[in-house]
């Protein structure tokens, strides 16, 4: 699962792919609809979608003669879990450091009071 999350993060590292991902957050779109709002060609949008799909972030389905892309909920859940774990670990480390500094300051205050 770790490599999968890295693929998703890597895929979103590109500004055009991030823009496509964010647009799909508003609802399903075809390649043509996505290309309308971007400064890249339809073939380029298709290549970006291929990367997002390989990373598990989007799915596609044939609708008539076109393919419609949408966000893939399990892929989004994987990203959310990653960031939740990352944030929880960072906040725990921050809390531990604050507690260590408070204990150090209290020990210094106690020592100073005993000397006076």
Kindly report whether the global pTM for this prediction surpasses the value 0.85.
no
Q: pLDDT tens digits, the chain, 116 residues: what are they?
A: 455 558 899 999 999 999 999 999 999 999 999 999 899 999 999 999 999 999 999 999 999 999 999 999 999 998 888 888 877 777 777 887 888 888 888 888 787 777 76
What burial class does residue 67 get, using C-beta atoms within 10 Å of its C-beta: 0-12 exposed, 13-18 middle, 19+ buried? middle
């Amino acid at each position: 699962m770790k490599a999968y999350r890295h693929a998703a993060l890597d895929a979103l590292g590109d500004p055009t792919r991030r823009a496509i991902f964010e647009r799909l957050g508003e609802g399903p779109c075809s390649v043509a609809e996505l290309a309308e709002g971007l400064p890249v060609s339809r073939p380029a949008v298709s290549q970006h979608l291929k990367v997002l799909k390989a990373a598990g972030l989007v799915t596609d389905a044939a609708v008539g003669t076109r393919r419609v892309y949408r966000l893939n909920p399990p892929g989004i859940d994987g990203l959310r879990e990653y960031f939740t774990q990352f944030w929880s670990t960072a906040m725990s480390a921050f809390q531990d450091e604050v507690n260590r500094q408070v204990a150090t300051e209290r020990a210094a205050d106690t020592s100073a009071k005993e000397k006076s």
